Every structure is written in structure tokens, then in C-alpha cells.
Amino acid sequence: MEVRRLQCKGCGKVKQEKLDFLADNPFYTKRFAHYVGKRCQSSTILDIAKELRLNWKTVKELEKQYMREKLRRAGKPSPKVAGVDEISIRKGHVYRIVVSDLEKRRAIWFGGKDRSEESFDLFWEEIGARKAEKVRLVVMDMWKPFEASTLMHATQAAILYDKFHVLKQLGEAMDQVRRAEYRRASEKQRKYIKGQR
């Protein structure tokens, strides 16, 4: 297909005609990028690349375009119930924060440079004060920076700690009590306590 190139009279630069149906990669249409993105939901990038005889980097870029378009269509998030967690993106304790809308069951934000309060503040700033005040529940682990950021920005929200971390804290408290009782017990009583949880 022939694409026109024009020299701009204003700036003197040569510009190429923009065609609505082309993807970010001009060798593929938006429709094809959509097809590749949909296929990547159920198969690996490498499998799709082999099937369509494309370079895996091309498939990855087309999938990114598909995901950007999905995010654009979904609009700005406005969660009522949010879930917060961090994920490790590589070895060496390098983290990013993931926020999900738990009612719509989808991730709505991925960011920050670590798992600090300042990084989580970026999420609240992005959705804005009005939407932050409409959040009524935030589910998180017992990480103090997440709690502090939530209390500062989403003042109406209740905080719910996930069960795993509550049970972990409870288990540690029980171990402390068990160790203290073991130290206090006589030799005969220690035989009964040892190995019991």
C-alpha cells in the first residue's frame, strides 16, 4: 500500500500520512494487533510468535498495544474496594506496588519505585482526592507504609488485613507464649510441652 509523504510548509520536515487503521507498528493493522493481544491471553508470547511466524518482540509489542487500548477503554479507575500488594520484579528486593479493584476483579495500578509510603502515595495522587474519598475498604497485608498512605488519602476507608498475615502474627504470638511457658515449667512439665503447638 502506498503511503503519502509530505513536506510541511511550516517546519520544512517530511511527514508521513497517518492512517487510522494502522497499529503503532506500521507493518500491522490495529485489527491484527487486537487479534494478537487476545491470543496472548490464552497462550504464551513465544507460542503466538511461532504460530504467526513473527518475532517474539513484535508479538510482545502488539500485546502491549492491545493492553494499552484495553486500559484506555476501561477509563480512569474509581474503586470502592481496593486490594494492595507488592510484587518482586527481580532479585535483590526490587518491588512494585499493585492495586486492584476487588469488586471489578481487575488490576488498576502498577507502579512506584519500591514499597514505600511515597510510592503508594503516587496511586492516590493519580486517582485524585475525590475518588480516594469514595474508597470505603482497602485490603492489605500489615505493611505500615501502605496503612499510613491509606489513612492519609482515603480517610473514609476501613482497612482490612489479609487472613494470612493475621494468622502469621497470631502464630508468632503463640510461639512466644509457648517459649515463655517452657522456660517457666519444671523438667517433668517440659516433656509434655516440647513438640506441642
Domain positions in the chain: 5-74, 81-161, 169-197
Is 0.85 topped by the overall pTM? no
DSSP state of 17: P
Separation of alpha carbons 191 and 53, rounded Å: 68
User: How much is the pLDDT for 131?
Assistant: 93
Alpha helices in 77-196 (DSSP H): 117-127, 129-134, 144-153, 163-184, 187-193
Q: What does the pLDDT read at residue 155?
A: 92
- State the fold for domain 81-161: Nucleotidyltransferase; domain 5 (3.30.420)
**Residue 193 has what pLDDT?**
72
Radius of gyration over alpha carbons of the chain, in Å?
A: 26
Closest CA relative to residue 101, chosen from 78, 69, 133: 78
Which residues of the chain are modeled with pLDDT < 50?
none
The pLDDT score that the predictor gives to residue 175 is: 85
pLDDT score at 134: 94
